[in-house]
Amino acid sequence: MYAAERLSGYVLYVCSVYRTLFHIPRRRKDELWVYFCGHSLGLQPKSAASYIRRVLESWHWEGVEAYFSARARWVDYADRLRPKLAPLLGAQPESIAIAHTLTTNLHLLLASFYQPTPERYIILTEQEPFPSDIYALQSAAALKGYPDAVRMVPELLPTTEAVLSAIDSYGERLAGVWMSGVHYLTGQAYDIQAITAAAHRVGAWAGWDLAHAVGNIPLQLDAWNVDFAVWCSYKYLNAGPGAVGGLYVAPRHWEKAPLLAGWWGNRLETRFEMQPTFDPAPDARAWVHSNPSPLLLAPLEASLDIFALLSLPEYFAQIQTYHRLLRDKLAHIPGLSLLTPENAHGAQLSFRLTHSDGKALNQALLEAGYCIDWRRPGILRAAPVPLYNTPEEIETFAKAVSHYLQTYA
């Protein structure tokens, strides 16, 4: 149905051109992986090494002066990446800060936004959130004296209506809603705009984990009136293992929300005056504590410079096409059920087996050169990405699943 020759010219152009900009991992010396794990760790841009080398050379030749030199200017390196990242978030650059990691940023923003009262203290989240998220929510609530504040939407795969119903049921007891733009386990994409609006209707804030959303689905954080968000950059943004993360804070909260202060959150103009009183940056950068490493910013910039070459609307449409192609190929395989909703997804397709936990199938696929992953309780996740995957890989993967399922089901 979606044979390679029937795909649009744009996706074939992406496959033929942009794939060459990435290192495809090798299972053996002469055998490339079919790599469908961009939802876990994106592939390395070939240019990343040169971007990192530039930082190393500045360190070599300039030492600490590289922070302020015209050539390197590390002091505002993260700030200069904000306009490159902003289109992927649908946000003005000033609403973004590039720093820390996802969970650290979540703790920092919960410290600002979670201000419970005996009447309004509940945090609503999804079923099976990413473990680090639930740890952060639970610890933030416990630190404020409300250890039982975190509640979950009843279903693992809720409709938008079910989420809105849960919000309405808590009403004025709800302090905030924290959900994922795309659920890490199921691959379900949530309606960020509708859920945010529902939270606001009952007087609650809406915060979002965009780890599996940024670079994967279209985002319009400013237009959707989101309060705050955090993300990592090592999945669909291809910035490398342990890459620098980011945060978003809506302009209406700048200089109003209380925050935990750190040195790098000072205004750039006064940061190096070493004053004893915090002088917060006038935008989202006020939440930054520490100097983002130029060595980590470099591969992020390398990837963002590739995204800048894309037509983002067309690229996100091709992600949908790839997902549908994989879905169509797997849907008719006996003993396999698809988990990701048909009309609410990005690249990732989660599926499981009817009669086993899928571990043996996953191992067989890995040994055959197909890189996907397995997550408790028996869910396999695959995410073909148009930047570096091809329609042919989707077809051969589906055939391999069908073949090995007969043996390892």
pLDDT at 7: 54
pLDDT at 345: 98
Q: CA–CA separation, 267 vs 279, rounded Å?
A: 6
For residue 403, give the amino acid letter.
H
Answer positive or negative: Cα dihedral of 86, 301, 267, 293: positive
Find the mean pLDDT for residues 332-349: 96
pLDDT tens-digit series, residues 359-390: 999 999 999 999 999 998 899 999 999 999 99
When pLDDT is cut at 50, 70 and 90, the band that residue 11 belongs to is low
pLDDT at 78 exceeding the cut of 60 = yes
Of the candidates 349, 396, 311, the one whose C-alpha atom is nearest the C-alpha of residue 9 is 311
pLDDT at 407 exceeding the cut of 90 = no
Q: What is the DSSP string of 349-406?
A: EEEEESSS-SHHHHHHHHHTTEE-EEETTTEEEEB--TTT--HHHHHHHHHHHHHHHH
Instruction: Give me the residue spans of the domains in the chain.
Output: 4-32+312-408, 51-307
How far, CA to CA in Å, does 238 sit from each of 63, 199, 206, 243, 378?
A: 28, 32, 27, 9, 26
pLDDT tens-digit series, residues 118-165: 999 999 999 999 999 999 999 999 999 999 999 999 999 999 999 999
Fold: same for 4-32+312-408 and 51-307: no
pLDDT tens-digit series, residues 84-113: 999 999 999 999 999 999 999 999 999 999
Element housing 110 (H / E): helix 102-113
pLDDT at 2: 38
pLDDT at 17 exceeding the cut of 90 = no
Q: CA–CA separation, 135 vs 11, rounded Å?
A: 40
Q: Which fold has domain 51-307?
A: Aspartate Aminotransferase; domain 2 (3.40.640)
- CATH fit for domain 4-32+312-408, picks 3.90.1150.10, 2.40.30.170, 3.40.50.740, 3.40.630.30: 3.90.1150.10
